[in-house]
Amino acid sequence: METVKFTQMKDGDREDYAFLTEHEIEYADGTADRLLAALVELDKSLSGYKVTRLGHSLQAATRAWNAGADTDWVVSALLHDVGDIYAPYNHDEYAAAIIRPFVREQCAWVVEKHGDFQLLYYGEHVGANPNKRETFRGSPYFDDCAEFCEKWDQSSFDPDYPTLPLAFFAPLVKEVFARKSYDPTVTRAAVRAPLSDERAAAARSGR
């Protein structure tokens, strides 16, 4: 059959849902490509900074790469603002929802909360609470989010920073989104990995 038989979901049968499952799996396989295209669209997003939103995302990911961060961190840094296009007022939650099934819980939490943590740098200038991050002080990932914001997010608006191109990161995005969703060996609840690794950083820089 080319479509399901039903017009109401409650009327579907096993054959209908087996058919849909095949289509859903095929569609999900294209997630990485759609996200890479969405990153390019960030150039049409919020303006006014010295770099575009795509440039900011690439710079954050480059800083993560240069720090020796693992794949989960690098991809999270790259995608942390992908929600700016469709969810400008909760872009952090939007991005976290996208990556959560495929990365470590630690990384998804940091992406979800980074907007609140970023207020430290500008909250007082826009009438927001710069200390909103303190709400999450008890989280095991608090320090990770603070470091993410300090080293990779708030600092990545420099037009002179040598930034790697999107094509460099594309294989990492494809690797992450090829994983089985919500695999506990991937999401690794309560596991913390450092944002930097001096040995990996030295290897990547050729030192």
String of DSSP letters for 5-40: S-SSGGG--HHHHHHHHHHHHHHHTTHHHHHHHHHH
Distance CA(4)–CA(17), nearest Å, equals 8
Q: Which domain holds residue 173?
A: 11-205
Does the residue 150 lie in any domain?
Answer: yes
pLDDT at 64: 98
Does the residue 125 lie in any domain?
Answer: yes
pLDDT of residue 44 exceeding 90, the answer is no
pLDDT at 114: 98
How much is the pTM? 0.95
Does the residue 1 lie in any domain?
Answer: no
Q: Between 47 and 98, where is the model more confident?
A: 98
Dump pLDDT digits (tens) for 125-155. 999 999 999 999 999 999 999 999 999 999 9
CATH number at residue 114: 1.10.3210.10
In the chain, the N- to C-terminal Cα span, in Å, equals: 58
Distance CA(86)–CA(82), nearest Å, equals 9
pLDDT of residue 45 exceeding 80, the answer is no
pLDDT of residue 97 exceeding 70, the answer is yes
Dump pLDDT digits (tens) for 184-198. 999 999 999 999 999
pLDDT at 1: 65
Q: What percent of the chain has pLDDT over 90?
A: 94
In the predicted model, what is the mean pLDDT of the chain?
96
Does the residue 77 lie in any domain?
Answer: yes
The residues, any chain, with a CB within 8 Å of residue 42's CB and separated by 6 or more, are: 52, 53, 54, 57, 81, 82, 84, 85
The tally of domains found in the chain comes to 1
Distance CA(151)–CA(194), nearest Å, equals 13
Does the residue 4 lie in any domain?
Answer: no
